[in-house]
Chain A
Amino acid sequence: MRIGIPQELMPLPFMAWLKEQLSRHKEIEWHHKPTHKSKKIMLSEGDACHPFKSMVRTSIDLLPEIDTLLIPRLVKLDSHLMCPNFRALPDIVRLNINNICPEFAGKLNDITVDSSTSDEDNRVLIRLVKQLFAQNISAKNIVKKKQIPASLASKETTFPQKTIALLGHPYLLENNHLNMGITRQLSSLGYQITTPKDIPFKNLDALARKGDYYAKTNYWRSSREILGAFHYYTNIRKPAGIIYLIAFNCGVDALMRIELVSLHAKLPQTIPFMVLVGDEHTEQEHTATRLEAYLDIIDGI
């Protein structure tokens, strides 16, 4: 069986877990990157953020080479909401399929994930196995999501000298196309990178709680991850600098950026912090110039 999941979704820990679990029940040929890009014109994408447009385009381009396109409707993960775009993603993909390649209608699986606990994650998996392979599995056979080593327990308060912390949505941090090659550039300049992925989400969530009051919890999972990581990198274990990668027009980051800039201004000690906004028109040269200036500051400190 050939299953496609757009590469942009794969950096989400839930998706990696889902893939691993499905592979335990059936031999699957996984496809994440399309082998060729179709020239078909998508429905008006309006002014959606680049990652979202990219998810839709990759999904459509994957269709000819797969049997099933798996795009879960990610409403809530780890008991926190996802951005509204993830609720709409399967529908926008479906609409594009109907409009430009109706021969593939029926390949889309858009199981809803509204999950607060690992039991709920398991229930999604059980349903999915049934839908895809007509197989019944029991919760006992499911391997729990891997826990990342608790780096928070580390006694270290600093990273190796040339370490930069990158903040941002997982798909921005791990996808060179979406992050304008920033990770590659940093590595080639001799810098190590640390990201929130190195810290258990539970810990980040707890750190993010500092800013919550009553109904005003920052309810998006990615915001909590980014905010928690900012607290971690500025209070617990300090890198040489922090870069916050943002996709132009990201509604979630537009607010988080204000919060982080405010927190940064109140820090008792300086840690260079840069917000880098990019979209599909941003070239590597644009980011390189800013990155060089930023690294000059770091090297000068």
Chain B
Amino acid sequence: MIITFPHLGSMYVFCKAIAESAGIPYVLPPATSDRTREIGEFHTNESVCLPLKMILGNFIEALEAGADTIVMVGSGPPCRLGLYDRTIKIILDDLGYKYRWLTIPGIFNFQAFLQNHAETKELKKELSPLNIAKFPGAIMIGWRKMRWCEHLERLAATKRAVASSPRLVDLAYSRGMEAIDAAKSLFDIARAGKQAVAELEAINETGITPLKVMIVGEVYTVMEPTINLGIERRLGYAGVATHRSSYFSTHIRRGSRLDRKILKERNELIKLADPYFKYDVGAECNFSVAETIKAARDGYDGVVHVYPFSCMPETNAATVLATVASEHKIPVLSFALDRKDMGLRIDTQIEAFVDIMKMKKDGVTCV
């Protein structure tokens, strides 16, 4: 058994750490690239959402590199995320790949339990008692690595905006991520994390108060730079500190339904979006709207809304956000992302968006 998993956000750090610590052979798919996206595009169609295309590309690249068991976090209705695995399996089967599949339930219910039982029946036979014994510790290591990586992501997203040289932030961030990835024990992880934080904090600052933007939208698009075309970095280079609530660890905590605080926050957000959406549209739609309202209340200068082209829930959110922006007096910039060649367009739009936010902040109004 050689497992693989999507190379997305901090999720791959989590999965890789678990495999490594439990002694399970794995193939890390090559970093998500243009080739990954092109493979995904080639085997799907124009209206399939970008995250599915990327994940499919990841899996094909990993299977080509020798993986034979795919591990993927599952999800449920009402939008397409709950059918990603069904669709990806059809494509891989048609392409003639031989593989096994393990869904990590995104929602813990009886069906998910049955599916997990069926999927792991054979796989368990290939795991030694030692692999199984190491599993709880491996999850702990994976979790800590992911949390530290996300902490660095957060820090870098605000630091770029104030750093004399944002490039130094990118370098310190990459070094930190590599060190955390390479750490073997909880102690080493904490040391690598603290070291990276110290490096990031030591970078000289301009002293200018940055603009503050909240990033909202579809989960994979918000979290994964290869899908959102590095939106956080682009904004950071334009002097904008970015914040977001979506991290893989947050979604795991939500899915497990164990963290009461997170569930309470989610319910409050649903209420906040109520004047616009009287029902949960699905995925992050209502939360994109609610977080925009909250951002306006919390004094953010603007909101960037990112989602894959053809995403049903977020297309509705985008329509509503046009009204939210004017009613709550907060600039909102929406990006429906698909092809990679949008980078320059994004930069141009960001420039204009930054001007709008600055003018608003300075009280300048257009005549």
Q: Which residues of A contact B (CB under 8 A)?
A: 43-48, 73, 75, 81, 83-85, 87-88, 90-92, 95, 98-99, 110, 112, 211, 213-216, 218-219, 246, 248-255, 257-259, 262, 265, 277
Contact = CB atoms under 8 A, between A and B. Distances in A.
Contacts, number: 140
Contact of A95 (B85, B91, B320): B320
Contacts of B45: 254, 257-258
28 contacts: A45-B319, A46-B336, A48-B316, A48-B319, A83-B312, A84-B312, A87-B279, A87-B281, A88-B281, A88-B316, A91-B276, A91-B279, A92-B319, A95-B320, A99-B323, A110-B278, A112-B279, A215-B74, A215-B112, A219-B78, A251-B49, A251-B311, A254-B45, A255-B83, A255-B87, A258-B87, A259-B90, A262-B93
Contacts of B109: 215
Nearest to B84: A255
Contacts of A249: 47, 309-310
A46 B307 CA distance: 11
A46 B314 CA distance: 10
B10 interface: no
B315 interface: yes
Contacts of A218: 83, 86
Contacts of B103: 215
Nearest to A92: B319
A81 B312 CA distance: 14
Contact of B90 (A44, A91, A253, A258): A258
Contacts of A91: 276-279, 316, 320
A47 B309 CA distance: 7
A214 B13 CA distance: 29
Contacts of A219: 77-78, 82-83
B280 to A, nearest CB: 7
B282 A87 contact: yes
Contacts of A248: 46-47
B283 interface: yes
Contact of B276 (A95, A214, A250, A253): A95
Contacts of A44: 318-319, 322
B82 A251 contact: no
- Which of B48, B77, B318 neighbours the largest number of chain A CB atoms within 10 Å of its CB? B77
A25 B313 CA distance: 36
A92 B85 CA distance: 31
A259 B278 contact: no
Contacts of B49: 251, 254
B280 A87 contact: yes
B283 A84 contact: yes
A-B CB proximity, top 8 nearest: A214-B115, A254-B47, A88-B316, A215-B111, A84-B282, A46-B318, A219-B77, A84-B312
Contacts of A88: 277, 279, 281, 285, 313, 316
B44 A258 contact: yes
Contacts of A214: 111-112, 114-115, 118
A46 B336 CA distance: 9
Nearest to B93: A262
Nearest to A82: B78
B69 interface: no
B80 interface: yes
Interface of B: 44-49, 74, 76-80, 82-83, 85-87, 90-91, 93-94, 103, 105, 109, 111-112, 114-115, 118, 276-283, 285, 309-313, 315-316, 318-320, 322-323, 334, 336
Contacts of A216: 82-83, 85-86, 115
A62 to B, nearest CB: 19
Contact of A46 (B80, B111, B334): B334
Nearest to B273: A91
Nearest to B314: A46
A226 to B, nearest CB: 14
A43 B325 CA distance: 12
A82 B281 CA distance: 11
A253 B285 CA distance: 20
A136 to B, nearest CB: 25
B6 to A, nearest CB: 18
Contacts of A84: 78-79, 281-283, 285, 312-313, 316
Contacts of B283: 84
A73 B86 CA distance: 28
Nearest to B119: A214
Contacts of B85: 216
A86 to B, nearest CB: 9
B336 A47 contact: yes
Given A254-B47, A254-B310, A43 B280 contact: no
Contacts of A255: 48, 80, 83, 86-87
Contacts of B323: 43, 95, 98-99
Contacts of B311: 251
Contacts of B90: 258-259, 262
Given A85-B316, A95-B319, A251-B312, A90 B278 contact: yes
A92 B310 CA distance: 17
A73 B280 CA distance: 11
Contacts of A211: 86
Contact of A47 (B82, B281, B282, B310): B310
Nearest to B282: A84
A75 to B, nearest CB: 7
A48 B91 CA distance: 26
B281 A254 contact: no
Contacts of B44: 254, 258
B173 to A, nearest CB: 33
Contact of B312 (A85, A259, A265): A85
A254 to B, nearest CB: 4
B345 to A, nearest CB: 15
A211 B85 CA distance: 13
Given A48-B319, A81-B77, A216-B86, A250 B282 contact: no
A82 B309 CA distance: 20
